[in-house]
Protein backbone atom coordinates (compact mmCIF):
# COMPACT_ATOMS: atom_id res chain seq x y z
CA UNK A 1 0.00 0.00 0.00
CA UNK A 2 1.10 3.52 -0.70
CA UNK A 3 1.95 5.78 2.21
CA UNK A 4 2.60 9.50 2.42
CA UNK A 5 4.57 10.99 5.30
CA UNK A 6 4.70 14.62 6.34
CA UNK A 7 7.17 14.85 9.19
CA UNK A 8 6.46 18.48 10.12
CA UNK A 9 3.15 18.83 12.02
CA UNK A 10 3.65 22.60 12.18
CA UNK A 11 5.87 25.18 10.51
CA UNK A 12 6.18 28.90 11.14
CA UNK A 13 7.63 31.52 8.81
CA UNK A 14 7.92 35.30 8.73
CA UNK A 15 5.88 37.11 6.15
CA UNK A 16 7.85 37.59 2.90
CA UNK A 17 10.28 34.79 3.79
CA UNK A 18 10.61 31.39 2.13
CA UNK A 19 9.48 28.11 3.69
CA UNK A 20 9.82 24.51 2.60
CA UNK A 21 7.36 21.79 3.58
CA UNK A 22 8.58 18.19 3.44
CA UNK A 23 6.86 15.11 2.09
CA UNK A 24 8.05 11.59 1.47
CA UNK A 25 6.09 8.71 0.04
CA UNK A 26 6.39 5.02 -0.50
CA UNK A 27 5.23 3.23 -3.62
CA UNK A 28 6.26 0.40 -5.88
CA UNK A 29 4.67 2.06 -8.91
CA UNK A 30 6.65 3.89 -11.58
CA UNK A 31 3.81 6.07 -12.87
CA UNK A 32 1.94 8.19 -10.38
CA UNK A 33 0.97 11.74 -9.49
CA UNK A 34 1.84 13.89 -6.51
CA UNK A 35 -0.09 16.86 -5.23
CA UNK A 36 0.01 19.57 -2.64
CA UNK A 37 -3.38 20.72 -1.37
CA UNK A 38 -4.10 23.69 0.88
CA UNK A 39 -6.94 23.77 3.42
CA UNK A 40 -7.44 27.21 5.02
CA UNK A 41 -9.38 27.28 8.31
CA UNK A 42 -13.06 26.49 7.64
CA UNK A 43 -12.44 26.82 3.92
CA UNK A 44 -12.43 24.55 0.92
CA UNK A 45 -9.50 22.26 0.11
CA UNK A 46 -7.81 23.60 -3.00
CA UNK A 47 -5.06 22.29 -5.24
CA UNK A 48 -1.78 24.18 -4.97
CA UNK A 49 0.45 22.26 -7.35
CA UNK A 50 0.81 18.84 -8.94
CA UNK A 51 3.63 16.77 -10.39
CA UNK A 52 3.58 13.86 -12.79
CA UNK A 53 6.17 11.25 -11.84
CA UNK A 54 7.34 10.77 -15.43
CA UNK A 55 8.29 14.45 -15.69
CA UNK A 56 11.79 15.29 -14.50
CA UNK A 57 11.15 19.02 -14.47
CA UNK A 58 9.89 20.35 -11.16
CA UNK A 59 6.44 21.94 -11.26
CA UNK A 60 6.03 25.62 -10.45
CA UNK A 61 2.95 27.79 -9.92
CA UNK A 62 3.79 31.42 -9.23
CA UNK A 63 5.27 31.52 -5.70
CA UNK A 64 4.90 27.77 -5.24
CA UNK A 65 7.41 25.24 -6.49
CA UNK A 66 8.30 21.66 -5.75
CA UNK A 67 11.51 19.72 -5.42
CA UNK A 68 10.67 16.26 -6.77
CA UNK A 69 13.30 13.61 -6.13
CA UNK A 70 11.90 10.39 -7.60
CA UNK A 71 14.71 8.09 -6.49
CA UNK A 72 14.51 9.40 -2.95
CA UNK A 73 10.67 9.43 -3.07
CA UNK A 74 10.67 12.98 -1.83
CA UNK A 75 8.30 15.78 -2.83
CA UNK A 76 8.83 19.05 -0.95
CA UNK A 77 6.90 22.28 -1.44
CA UNK A 78 8.66 25.65 -1.42
CA UNK A 79 6.62 28.79 -0.81
CA UNK A 80 8.47 31.97 -1.70
CA UNK A 81 7.57 35.45 -0.46
CA UNK A 82 5.13 34.02 2.11
CA UNK A 83 1.89 35.93 2.53
CA UNK A 84 -0.64 35.99 5.36
CA UNK A 85 -3.12 34.26 3.06
CA UNK A 86 -0.81 31.26 2.81
CA UNK A 87 -1.64 30.28 6.39
CA UNK A 88 -3.39 26.91 6.21
CA UNK A 89 -3.03 23.17 6.55
CA UNK A 90 -1.00 21.79 3.68
CA UNK A 91 -1.51 18.21 2.59
CA UNK A 92 0.78 16.18 0.41
CA UNK A 93 -1.11 13.57 -1.61
CA UNK A 94 -0.39 10.69 -3.95
CA UNK A 95 -2.45 8.98 -6.60
CA UNK A 96 -1.84 6.32 -9.21
CA UNK A 97 -2.90 6.69 -12.80
CA UNK A 98 -5.04 3.64 -13.23
CA UNK A 99 -5.74 4.40 -16.88
CA UNK A 100 -9.19 5.63 -16.07
CA UNK A 101 -7.81 8.52 -14.14
CA UNK A 102 -6.62 8.52 -10.58
CA UNK A 103 -8.47 6.68 -7.87
CA UNK A 104 -8.74 8.20 -4.47
CA UNK A 105 -5.91 10.24 -3.11
CA UNK A 106 -3.65 8.98 -0.33
CA UNK A 107 -2.95 11.90 1.96
CA UNK A 108 -0.25 12.72 4.46
CA UNK A 109 -1.26 13.93 7.90
CA UNK A 110 -0.74 17.55 6.98
CA UNK A 111 1.51 20.44 8.01
CA UNK A 112 0.01 23.46 9.74
CA UNK A 113 1.69 26.53 8.27
CA UNK A 114 1.73 29.70 10.38
CA UNK A 115 2.67 33.02 8.84
CA UNK A 116 4.12 35.55 11.30
CA UNK A 117 3.39 39.18 10.34
Partner 1 sequence: EADIYQTPRYLVIGTGKKITLECSQTMGHDKMYWYQQDPGMELHLIHYSYGVNSTEKGDLSSESTVSRIRTEHFPLTLESARPSHTSQYLCASSTGLAGLTDTQYFGPGTRLTVL
35 binds partner 1 (CB under 8 A): yes
Q: How far is the CB of 37 from partner 1 (least distance, A)?
A: 8
Beta carbon of residue 43, minimum distance to partner 1 (angstroms, whole number)? 7
Under the binding rule (CB under 8 A), the answer on residue 43 touching partner 1 is: yes
Where helices occur in 2-114 by DSSP H, the ranges are none
Out of 33, 64, 76, 78, the only residue in the binding site for partner 1 (CB under 8 A) is 33
* Cα–chain center distance at 36: 3
Region of 61 (left: φ > 0; alpha: ψ -120 to 50; beta: rest) is beta
Which residues contact partner 1 (rule: CB under 8 A)?
1, 33, 35, 37, 39, 43-47, 50, 52, 89, 91, 95, 97, 99-107, 109-110
Amino acid sequence: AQTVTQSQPEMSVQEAETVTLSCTYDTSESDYYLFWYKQPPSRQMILVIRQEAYKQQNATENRFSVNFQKAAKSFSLKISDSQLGDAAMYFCAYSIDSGGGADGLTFGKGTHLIIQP
